[in-house]
């Protein structure tokens, strides 16, 4: 599966009232509001709150070891070029906006064989709405289920904080991202013309956690 960027960084923050960064425990196994995909074994916790996951491609026999951990300042060297790669087609301010977000909000970094390969930034309030502010996976590591694992962790965090709803937005031309989100139970609720700095339209997607 090919991935992604959601809204360009910061766009969704502007689209709705700013929400305080969430302060939570580290992610736990399982997804909120939906059953984990069959190709994923249950993750196992690691020291320091990281999570280990054996992530299988459908039809591929090789397992990928994926670890998720909180953002660290040293991750800027990885996130800056990835932000340019994933978001520059939507906004010329992709890198500074992304770096600002990952520092202000709660950010998870995905590691494969000890190497950073993707990240997800989220915000929200306990008992309210949780938002994916940005998600991206490096081009060389796409198609390995990393985006799915990041979304699984996001939903677990939101569920642990008793979130009522999940929200995100992505370009309507980003078919790979839309496929991921729709498969995870999100639904498109509206479309915004020229949402991005470079003129692309966006789809707003939501997922209810209240049944």
Q: Delimit the domains of the chain by residue range.
A: 11-163
Report pLDDT for 8: 52
CATH code for residues 11-163? 3.40.630.30
Residue 9 has pLDDT above 70, yes or no: no
Assigned token pair, 116: 């950073």
- Of residues 7 and 45, the one with the higher pLDDT is 7
Strands of the sheet with 51-56, listed across from one edge: 44-45, 51-56, 63-70, 106-112, 115-124, 129-137, 165-171, 202-208, 187-192
Least confident of 32-36, 64-68, 181-185: 32-36
What are the E-state strand segments in 79-148? 106-112, 115-124, 129-137
Report pLDDT for 107: 98
- Of residues 208 and 2, the one with the higher pLDDT is 208
- Rounded to an integer, what distance in angstroms lies between the CA atom of residue 187 and that of residue 158? 17
Over the chain, what is the mean pLDDT? 79
pLDDT tier at 86, thresholds 50, 70, 90: very high
Report pLDDT for 61: 30
């Amino acid at each position: 599966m090919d991935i992604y960027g959601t809204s360009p960084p910061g766009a969704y923050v502007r689209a709705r009232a700013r929400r305080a960064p969430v302060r939570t425990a580290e992610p736990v196994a399982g997804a909120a509001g939906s059953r984990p995909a069959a190709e994923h074994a249950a993750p196992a916790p690691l020291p320091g709150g990281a999570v280990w996951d054996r992530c299988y491609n459908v039809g591929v026999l090789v397992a990928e070891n994926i670890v998720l951990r909180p953002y660290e300042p040293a991750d800027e060297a990885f996130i800056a070029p990835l932000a340019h790669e994933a978001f520059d087609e939507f906004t010329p301010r992709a890198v500074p906006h992304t770096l600002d977000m990952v520092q202000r909000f709660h950010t998870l970094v995905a590691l494969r064989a000890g190497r950073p390969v993707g990240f997800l930034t989220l915000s929200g309030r306990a008992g309210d709405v949780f938002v994916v502010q940005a998600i991206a996976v490096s081009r060389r590591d796409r198609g390995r289920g990393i985006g799915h694992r990041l979304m699984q962790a996001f939903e677990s965090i939101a569920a642990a904080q008793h979130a009522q709803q999940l929200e995100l937005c992505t370009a309507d031309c980003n078919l790979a991202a839309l496929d991921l989100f729709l498969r995870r139970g999100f639904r498109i609720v509206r479309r915004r013309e020229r949402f991005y700095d470079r003129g692309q339209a966006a789809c707003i997607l939501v997922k209810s956690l209240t049944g």
